[in-house]
Amino acid sequence: MLPTVQPRIGVLALQGDFALHRKTLARLGAPSVEVRKASGLPGLDGLIIPGGESSTMLKLLKEEDFFDPILDFHRAGGALYGTCAGAILLASEVENPAQDSFGLLDVRIRRNGYGRQIDSHLGEIPCPALGEPPLPLVMIRGPVITAVGPDVRVLASWRGHAALVQQGRVLASTFHPELTEDTRVHAWFLREVAGSGTNSRGNR
Ligand code: GLN
């Protein structure tokens, strides 16, 4: 059998918990790089947009002329995975309050929809696509997905709302798998979203 070629993944490192995503990828044997500028995107198969503060990240992305290059990266076939604030940035519509976003994932998302910092919580979230046992869930001032478009696959739901969703080469979770020991969501991103590395973007 041929050895699996891992996709090349960047983690957006402007703000938020990017280091833990790299740690999770490393546990899966996937090398990754921190991406701070648009010049870090060429050659990558996927980009993870971490949790943090979506409004701050948005401001930094615009100041650094880094917003449109991420759209171009995706248009050229690049995979994206956003956790929490990252999911907010990917959504087609943001509320509470409304803010600009990439619009690459056909969901409406409500910032801080599960409540304030004090309402942050742990749990276990069933995810049939990823098998048993349920995924450990860490929710930190997470957003609530309040509407899901027809092309969005709901992989897991929490308290009646989609919480892990995929639309083609875009994956998003309102919770934080990188804060747990469970690597299955990242493994899914590597395998099912960013491709097997077999020339999935034709740019090797
Ligand atoms: N509440 C944050 C926001 O609206 C997201 C929190 C997180 O990423 N853990 O951007």
Q: Is 148 in the pocket of ligand 1 (CB under 6 A)?
A: no
> pLDDT at position 201, please?
47
DSSP 3-state of 162 = strand
Q: Which of 49, 54, 59, 144 to mutate to test the pocket of ligand 1 (most atoms within 8 A of CB)?
A: 54
- pLDDT at res. 19: 96
pLDDT of residue 120: 84
User: Which of 21, 127, 161, 178 is flagged as catalytic?
Assistant: 178
Q: What is the pTM of this model?
A: 0.94
Predicted confidence (pLDDT) per residue in 100-138, tens digit: 999 999 999 999 999 887 788 999 999 999 999 999 999
Across 166-191, average pLDDT: 97
Q: Is 140 left (phi over 0), alpha (psi -120 to 50) or beta?
A: beta
Does residue 45 contact residue 9 with C-beta atoms inside 8 Å? Answer: yes
For residue 200, pLDDT beyond 90: no
Query: Which candidate, 139, 143, 166, places its Cα nearest to that of 154?
Result: 166
Of 21, 84, 127, 161, the active-site residue reads: 84
Q: Is 188 helix (H, G, I), strand (E, B) or coil?
A: helix
Write the pLDDT tens digit of every residue in 21-34: 999 999 999 999 99
Ligand 1 centroid to residue 54 C-alpha, Å: 6
Is 201 close to ligand 1, i.e. is its CB under 6 Å away? no
pLDDT of residue 25: 97
Written as six digits, the tokens of 133 are 């046992």
54 CB within 6 A, ligand 1: yes
Q: Is the peptide bond before 7 cis (omega within 30 degrees of 0)?
A: no
Specify whether the CB–CB gap between 157 and 128 falls below 8 A.
no
Task: Please report the sign of the dihedral spanned by the C-alpha atoms of residue 173, residue 179, residue 183, residue 187.
Answer: positive
The mean pLDDT of the chain is: 93
Q: Has residue 196 got a pLDDT over 60?
A: no
Establish whether 176 is a catalytic residue: yes
What's residue 182's pLDDT? 98
Helix locations, 53-159, DSSP H: 54-63, 67-75, 85-90
The predicted model gives 164-191 an average pLDDT of 97
Nearest atom in ligand 1 to the alpha carbon of residue 112 is 1
What does the pLDDT read at residue 5?
76
Give strand pairing partners of 33: 10
C-alpha dihedral (55, 69, 185, 126), degrees to nearest 10: 50
Mean pLDDT for 24-46 is 96
Distance from the alpha carbon of residue 32 to the mean position of ligand 1, in angstroms: 23
What pLDDT digit, counting tens, does each position of 57-115 carry? Answer: 999 999 999 999 999 999 999 999 999 999 999 999 999 999 999 999 999 999 999 98
- Does 153 have pLDDT greater than 60? yes
**Ligand 1, atom nearest to 52 Cα:** 8
